[in-house]
């Protein structure tokens, strides 16, 4: 009996697939900085265009300034055609054991396929490699780009390097090993960063006075452990799961399923009253709402669009709709017919199409939600027709 089929979870499968594809030479990783004379300006422009396309509310000039800043660096995931899949613009402050993530984006055509999580895990290991370069040459480490074509070098990456330095403060800082990622996440990105190990419960104080405080964003932190390989975290979880399962097997017989010969149980009849239209409608909409909330693409639709964050939204969208409103209307009994519920779901999706361009992540999420909804609707069509 398998209580937790960890190996079959979509997250584990996606990570395993990406590592296998990387080993088949389908991807490469780069840490590129404007400071390195060998850096291709075309690549930096590609990075700028990706951020500009995926972060449409961010000023173009600001994006260009950040990508080209010689004090900052860019981590990229590139496919076998040398096309950019995703990128992270970051500002390393290794003297503080700190890395600020300025921008993070994955091409919209690669969303919901595990590339974001894979890039983040690779980035965590690449940062350890760059930190090793910093320990060797604190002044010039950004002048040396890092390219990884063989992911085995990251899979074997075991720890952050230490540096012996006569300066006691620097020595103490570097030998702490643990690094911290820091970023400001808007409401649409908080869910993603949480899945990558970030938290809004900030423990480090190294960022104060160093990183600018932004309005409209939530500061989030992720502690990077030098003794953990993030590309192998699934292996670690599976080993822990196996140990727990074996230990539970020693304590009880939870894993054994036995047939019962109890005549009382065998003679039990289903005495539940027949399903009514109202009862079925309530239960089915409950189910549909739960399924939509569980969809990885649902995060832009959880709450109403903020007039403070997007002041022009209400001038374009006259009938706003979101999942929290749908949930509230259902709780208040406002859906007497299933068609009313469906109208609101499709209104929510249509609004997103209308306000956001086809190349944006929001438009892509709306497509996934609409497809998921219609799939569920068709899957239970015969049952719906029976009761409704």
How confident is the model over 263-296, as pLDDT tens digits?
Answer: 655 665 555 566 678 888 899 999 999 999 888 7
What is the helix (H) or strand (E) element at residue 366, kind and residue range? helix 361-379
Sign, CA dihedral 46-48-51-52, equals negative
> How big is the CA angle at 371 (ends 55 and 79), to the nearest 5 degrees?
50
Domain 277-387 class?
A: mainly alpha
Domain boundaries defined on the chain = 6-235, 277-387
**pLDDT tens digits, 35-88:** 877 778 889 999 999 999 888 878 899 999 999 999 899 999 999 888 999 999
- In angstroms, the CA 229 to CA 309 distance is 37
Contacts of 23 (CB under 8 A, 6+ apart): 151, 152
Winning range, highest mean pLDDT, from 3-12, 165-174, 290-299, 365-374: 365-374
Domain 6-235 class?
A: alpha beta
* pLDDT at residue 18, as a whole number: 83
- In angstroms, the CA 337 to CA 13 distance is 39
* Residue 327 confidence (pLDDT) above 90: yes
Reported pTM:
0.63
- In angstroms, the CA 229 to CA 237 distance is 12
């Amino acid at each position: 009996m398998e209580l937790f089929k960890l190996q079959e979870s979509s997250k584990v499968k996606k990570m395993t697939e990406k590592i296998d594809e990387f080993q088949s030479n389908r991807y490469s990783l780069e840490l590129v900085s404007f400071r390195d004379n060998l850096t291709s300006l075309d690549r930096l422009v590609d990075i700028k265009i990706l951020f500009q396309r995926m972060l449409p509310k961010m000023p173009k000039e600001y994006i260009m300034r950040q990508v080209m800043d010689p004090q900052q660096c860019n981590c990229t995931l590139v496919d076998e055609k040398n096309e950019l899949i995703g990128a992270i613009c970051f500002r390393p402050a290794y003297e503080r054991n700190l890395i600020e993530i300025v921008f993070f984006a994955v091409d919209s055509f690669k969303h919901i396929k595990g590339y974001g999580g894979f890039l983040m895990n690779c980035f965590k290991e690449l940062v350890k490699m760059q930190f090793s370069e910093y320990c060797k040459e604190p002044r010039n480490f950004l002048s040396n780009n890092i390219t990884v074509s063989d992911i085995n070098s990251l899979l074997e990456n075991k720890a952050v390097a230490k540096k012996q330095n006569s300066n006691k403060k620097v020595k103490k800082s570097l030998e702490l090993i643990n690094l911290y990622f820091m970023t400001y996440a808007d409401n649409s990105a908080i869910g993603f960063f949480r899945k990558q190990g970030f938290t809004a419960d900030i423990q480090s104080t190294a960022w104060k006075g160093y990183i600018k405080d932004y309005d409209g964003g939530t500061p989030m932190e992720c502690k990077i452990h030098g003794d953990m390989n993030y590309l192998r975290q699934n292996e670690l979880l599976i080993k822990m799961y196996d140990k727990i399962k074996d230990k539970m097997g020693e304590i009880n017989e939870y894993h054994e399923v036995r047939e019962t010969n109890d005549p009382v149980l065998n003679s039990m009849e289903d005495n539940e009253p027949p399903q009514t239209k109202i009862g079925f409608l309530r239960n089915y909409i409950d189910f549909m709402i739960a399924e939509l909330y569980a969809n990885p693409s649902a995060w832009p639709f959880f709450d109403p669009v903020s007039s403070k964050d997007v002041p022009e939204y209400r001038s374009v969208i006259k009938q706003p709709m979101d999942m929290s409103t749908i949930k509230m209307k259902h709780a208040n009994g406002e859906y007497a017919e299933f068609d009313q519920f469906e109208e609101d779901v499709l209104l929510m999706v249509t609004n997103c199409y209308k306000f956001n361009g086809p190349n944006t992540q929001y438009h892509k999420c709306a497509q996934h939600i609409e497809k998921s909804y219609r799939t569920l609707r068709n899957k239970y069509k015969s049952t719906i027709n029976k009761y409704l």
